[in-house]
Every structure is written in C-alpha cells, then in structure tokens.
Amino acid sequence: MYARQSKGLWAILFVSSLTLLGCMKDVTKIRAPSAAKWCHGCHGIHGKGTALAAIPNLAGQKVSYLVRQLELFQQGKGIGTAARIQTDEVVRQNRSMKYHADKLGPDEIMATAEFYSSQPCNVRPVNVEPVPSNRCTKCHGDMGISASGGIPNLAGQNIEYLLAQIQKFKESSSGVEREQRRPYRRHPIMSNSVSNLSSGEIATLYAYARMACR
Ligand code: HEC
Ligand code: HEC
C-alpha cells in the first residue's frame, strides 16, 4: 500500500518536474540582454509589468512593433515642440521612455525587443470567446492578436494602459488644438480614424485585456 502510494507520488513529482522544465525552457529560450536591467524596474523581469499603473505588458508582443516604438521614443520629436508635427507623422513622446530608450543602440533595441517578445505572458484566458467583429478586429484580431508585425497585440494588455493610449490618440487627432508642452502619441490611423470609440468598442478593449496574450 505504502509502496503503491509512494510510486504514485514519484510519478506526480516526475510529471510536475517535466512541466516545470518545459516552462523553464521557454523562459530561458532567449536570455535577458544586459540592457534589460534598465527596464525591469517598471516592466518587470519578464515584461509583464509591475504594480505601477499604466505600464504596458511587453511579454509576447510583436518584435517589430516593440522595435518601432523604441525608435519612436528615441526620436521623441523634441517634447515640447508638438505644434510643428505634421498630421501624417507617427510620433510617440514619453519622458521616461525617451530617457531609457536613448541608452539603447540598435543592437540593444533588437535584443530587448526579442527578449520581451519571447517571454511567456501567463495571462489565464478569462475570455475565450472571440469578440464580435467591429472596426478594431480587422487589425487587432477577434482574440486581440494582430496578423501584422506593425500592429500591436492587445490581448492580455493592461486595461488602464490601453485606455490611456486611446486618450492620447484622441488628443492628437486632426483638428484638436495641441498643447505645446504635453508629450503625446500620434499615428495617422489610430489618431484620425478610430480614436472616438463607441461603447461596444470600449467593451472590446476590456475583453482583449482579459484574453490570453498569445
Ligand atoms: C520609469 C519606468 C520605465 C522604465 C524604466 C522603462 N519603461 Fe518602457 N514604458 C514605461 C511607460 C510608462 C510606458 C508607456 C508610455 C506611454 O504611455 O506612451 C512604456 C512603454 C514602453 C514600450 C511601448 C509598449 C507598447 O505596447 O506600445 C516599450 C517597447 C518599452 N516601454 C520598452 C522599454 C525598455 C526596452 C526599457 C528598458 C531599456 C524600458 N521600457 C524602461 C515605463 C518605463
Ligand atoms: C487599420 C488598422 C487598425 C485599426 C482598424 C485599429 N487599429 Fe489600433 N493600432 C493600429 C496600429 C498600426 C497601432 C500602432 C500605432 C503606433 O505605432 O503608434 C495601433 C495601436 C493601438 C493601441 C495602442 C496599443 C499599445 O500597445 O500601445 C490601442 C489601444 C488600439 N490600437 C486600439 C484600437 C481600437 C480600440 C480599435 C477599434 C476602435 C483599433 N485600435 C483599430 C492599427 C489599427
């Protein structure tokens, strides 16, 4: 009886250690580049974010999207010179991110983007039902996973962060008088065509935030 039980216990231990090894293999597939030491404090060791509000999740995000955002932060277009920005330009200004992105060379941008993109996101899929199709799903997918490297996944993203970004796109839409000193984010599609969300589209954002990030 005792022997049978302990055999069962060993089997369980063996299976769980295999599962653990499987997870560990994923986590360590790409080692954190040394530049990631500048990012951990806000984005967390695996890019999942920290308790700080409005910090985006980077884990599982598209590599080319992450690279592009870091380049945009670096360019920063001189925070405080917003009035000179053309309406068809893509701009992203954020003081903390400009400061940290400026420390990265092109290789470090690629290395940090690849590292965070490879990280597991561990979001338990609370919403497994695809959202009904609307103007967001054609680019961001009905499960919050986009089909293109230039379009971010929204699944598993921090909802406060998502809402804050929509507000930023709204503030930079054509015809809105810009406050000179306020850092902002502008993208022709997101700012001009889709920053005024219907209540259904806001519900889509909440649903995306509860979906598995890949
Ligand atoms: C002081 C906190 C802080 C640190 C340190 C920091 N970040 Fe950020 N990061 C932020 C915040 C806040 C945002 C959201 C900015 C906004 O609202 O536009 C952000 C946004 C980003 C984004 C855009 C994500 C998206 O979904 O669009 C990327 C990529 C990023 N950070 C990468 C990094 C990397 C790489 C490092 C380290 C070199 C780093 N960050 C260090 C706070 C930080
Ligand atoms: C035609 C394609 C397209 C459509 C339609 C679209 N988006 Fe986007 N979305 C983008 C692109 C491209 C970006 C990245 C913008 C950038 O680089 O600054 C983006 C970025 C975002 C972001 C910021 C994500 C982040 O990680 O920072 C949010 C939030 C968002 N979209 C929500 C929506 C919502 C909600 C809708 C529907 C009302 C929508 N989008 C429709 C292409 C699209």
pLDDT in tens, 123-157: 677 777 999 999 999 999 999 999 999 999 999 99
pLDDT(17) > 60:
no
Contacts (Cβ under 8 Å, ≥6 apart) of 29: 118
| Closest ligand 1 atom to 100 CA | 38
Highest mean pLDDT among 13-17, 50-54, 165-169, 178-182: 165-169
Q: Is the CB of 94 under 6 A from ligand 1?
A: yes
Structural tokens at position 124: 């338990």
The predicted pLDDT at position 76 comes to: 82
* CATH, domain 29-209, list 3.90.1150.10, 1.10.3720.10, 1.10.760.10, 1.25.40.80: 1.10.760.10
Q: Residues 185-208: what's their mean pLDDT?
A: 90
Distance of CA 126 from the midpoint of ligand 2 (Å): 22
pLDDT(96) > 50:
yes
Q: CA–CA separation, 115 vs 34, rounded Å?
A: 11
Predicted TM-score (pTM) of this structure? 0.88
Q: Is the CB of 136 under 6 A from ligand 1?
A: no
CA triple 27-155-40, angle to 5 deg = 45
pLDDT(204) > 60:
yes
